[in-house]
Chains A and B, each alone.
Chain A
Amino acid sequence: MMKLFKTQEIGSLKKPSWLLDYLKGKASDEEKKEALDEAAFLNVKMLENIGLDYVYDGEARRVEMYELPVRNMDGFEFAGRVRSWDNRYYKKARVVGEVKYRTNYHLDEFLFVKSIAERVPKVPVTGAYTIMDWSYNEYYKDRVELAMGLAKIVRRVMAELANNGAPVLQVDEPAATTHPSEMDMFTSVFNEQVSGINAKISTHICYSGDDYSSLMPHVAELKASHFALEFANRDRNELGVDEDSRPGYRALKAFKESGKEIGLGVLDVHTDFIEPPELVRDRILYAVKVLGDYSKIYVNPDCGLRTRKRKIAFEKLKSMIEGVRLAEQAIK
């Protein structure tokens, strides 16, 4: 049966416990690199075996989406950890000088994935606006100036990836809708960081807090052809393809006018609940009903699955693929 919907992961998977133990141990640098290669290889093959069309390495080598780029740029000093919620913290850095490119922090990992992947590799790259928003600015005149400085660095990182054969770059911008009054500024920064890049540009924005109402007026203007968004987190778990059954997907109506591709989040990454294939099917069928054009719909989890145990992530993704096949059958 011909596939109607492309499927993808958003990026991160929980690191295998054996890898963490190994990295903390007394292994040599070469042995640690081998272990990271092995973890990346297993992640790519797991995602391919599940049946995803677009894959990456589960971000096996990355410490965290903010910390990794900041570690590899000049101008930053880590200040310490700040609460995300409860006992969860993330490292936050101060901008104390001009931000500058130091090294391409994704190129080696991409080249490895490219060498082993049988499906299309899609590289997640943390966007400039998010790095700016999550940093303390002690150097630049204002947020725009800092974000534009970062956009130049991220653009160089992405251009090098594209020049080395990366077909799809996913710009992760979870902070995008945090400050609704800055959406014009976000749009300028986003477009600056992707200008001249010879690859398909996707963006992932999640947990907007305003049901994407601040994003939607800017979708057409943003230079991304694909928007991977989070919906399942706000949806009900009952079956149905009518509007009342799918409250989490209301933003799709406003998205329709853009004519761009949607990466439809159908798995809530903050719960161990395994969405049944029938629920995934109905979420997709509702999106088809609203958007009309199924060729513009890709299917994915809401966000990276790193907060879930690997077995749970595996079961969720497997169920997602089964749901996609059910939706395809229903349409045909």
Chain B
Amino acid sequence: MHLGGYAFGIFPRSEHLIDISRSGSGFSEAAGKESELLIKAQKEFGTTYVDDPQLVWDDLFRPMLLTQKGFTINGITRYFETNTFYKQPVIEGKIEYAGGVEQYLSLQGNPSLIALPDPFSFFCMSKNIWYNDDATLIRDLGKMLARISGDLKKYGYKLLVLKGPMYAMRDASRFREGIMDSLHEIRDSFSGKVIVHTYFGNPKINAKILAGSSIDGVGIDPKFVSKSDMQLYGSKDISLGAVDGLNTRLEKIDELKAMLSGLKGKVDNIYITNNVDLEFLPQSFSISKVKLIGEAVRVLNDEAI
């Protein structure tokens, strides 16, 4: 079994950057500098992939809504069971790729991982007032995300995380073909590794779709998924969200080791990751969590876990 580790998703801003974001001037420059520091820190901690901290992303959808065709932005909606809100995408026209997402990337420092919304979750969390046919809508979202993924490839990203919490919430079987095609197109276009991260529940109901798709791995939250359910994804990589992005309490390496036990020989590639974006923690705590991921990988590999 190969063991790696990475943090994914939107990082929290520092207290200093929060103050700047609220003052209205110099934010982009300050966010760029802070992103570089966060990227450097991950490299020092030795995580397998280095996350683009996405500090200028106001939520997981916003850069797409501001740059691609077919969207407007609605009022705030609660992000699942957190006390953080996102602005809901409203689909008011045909969705088409229009470029421009590169302005939201933290290219200085050369991160190797970036997270985008998965097409099924994007569909479920949007308000559609234009498409008559949901399958077409999912395919168009997939095409747009595939084109964006193609751009990301050019900038050197090696791992694309697709944030797919809705796989743990809703039966996707009705949209199976559209989802499979979209994931295939994204995987094809990105050409690096693609892992769909599910969280806030057990994606068991959609395991066949995820296992049968072209993606390389599935991210799961061990709070919700038993070890036997982790084996529903065939030969896919498993990203174990053992590090809790919703609580400041720092996990112990022995706890992570216990979560991994029993998976040896059953999963080829396993990564220790956070379960949800780290932006639900203040920045200093999120950095400790990333450091822990790096340490855990080193220690547990030494112990030949």
Residues of A within 8 A of B (CB): 79-87, 89-90, 92, 94, 133-134, 136-138, 175, 178-179, 207, 209, 270
Contacts and interface: CB of A to CB of B under 8 A. Distances in A.
Given A79-B282, A92-B282, A138-B248, A207 B83 contact: no
Instruction: Give me the 10 closest cross-chain CB pairs, A-B, nearest first.
Output: A80-B282, A85-B85, A136-B248, A138-B249, A87-B21, A86-B58, A209-B78, A79-B282, A94-B248, A179-B81
Given A85-B76, A86-B58, A136-B248, A80 B86 contact: no
A89 B283 CA distance: 13
7 contacts: A81-B282, A82-B279, A83-B12, A85-B87, A87-B58, A133-B83, A178-B78
Nearest to A139: B249
A91 to B, nearest CB: 9
A176 B13 CA distance: 28
B280 to A, nearest CB: 6
A261 to B, nearest CB: 27
Nearest to A92: B282
Contact of A85 (B81, B84, B282): B84
Nearest to A79: B282
Interface of B: 12-13, 15, 18, 21-22, 58-59, 75-78, 81-87, 247-249, 279-285
Contact of B283 (A80, A133, A209, A270): A80
A136 B78 CA distance: 19
Contacts of A207: 78
B100 to A, nearest CB: 20
A85 B281 contact: no
A92 B286 CA distance: 14
Nearest to B24: A87
B77 A82 contact: no
A82 B281 contact: yes
Contacts of A136: 247-249, 281
A86 B15 CA distance: 15
A179 B279 CA distance: 20
Nearest to A78: B282
Contacts of A270: 75-76
B16 to A, nearest CB: 11
Contact of B83 (A79, A86, A134, A137): A134
Contacts of A137: 247, 249
A94 B282 CA distance: 11
Contacts of A87: 18, 21-22, 58
A179 B248 CA distance: 20
Given A84-B83, A178-B81, 8 more contacts: A79-B282, A80-B284, A82-B282, A85-B76, A85-B84, A86-B58, A178-B82, A270-B76
Nearest to B22: A87
Contacts of A89: 18
A277 B286 CA distance: 49
A89 B282 CA distance: 10
B12 A82 contact: yes
B78 A79 contact: no
B15 A83 contact: no
Contact of A83 (B75, B249, B279, B285): B279
A92 B283 CA distance: 12
Contacts of B279: 82-83
Contacts of B81: 178-179
Contacts of B82: 178
Contacts of A94: 248
A81 B84 contact: no
Contacts of A85: 58-59, 76, 84-87
Indicate the member of A79, A82, A137, A138 with the most B CB atoms within 10 Å.
A82
B75 A81 contact: no
A83 B22 CA distance: 12
A81 B86 CA distance: 17
A287 to B, nearest CB: 23
B280 A82 contact: yes
Nearest to A66: B83
Nearest to B76: A85
Given A79-B248, A81-B15, A86-B58, A209 B83 contact: no
A134 B281 CA distance: 12
Contacts of A138: 247-249
B61 to A, nearest CB: 12
A80 B282 CA distance: 5
Nearest to B58: A86
A175 B83 CA distance: 8
B78 A83 contact: no
A230 to B, nearest CB: 13
A205 to B, nearest CB: 13
Contacts of B78: 178, 207, 209
A182 to B, nearest CB: 9
Contacts of B285: 79-80
Given A83-B84, A85-B87, A94-B248, A209 B282 contact: no
A92 B81 CA distance: 16
Contacts of A92: 282
Q: Which has the most chain B C-beta neighbours within 10 Å: A85, A86, A134, A179?
A: A85
A40 to B, nearest CB: 27
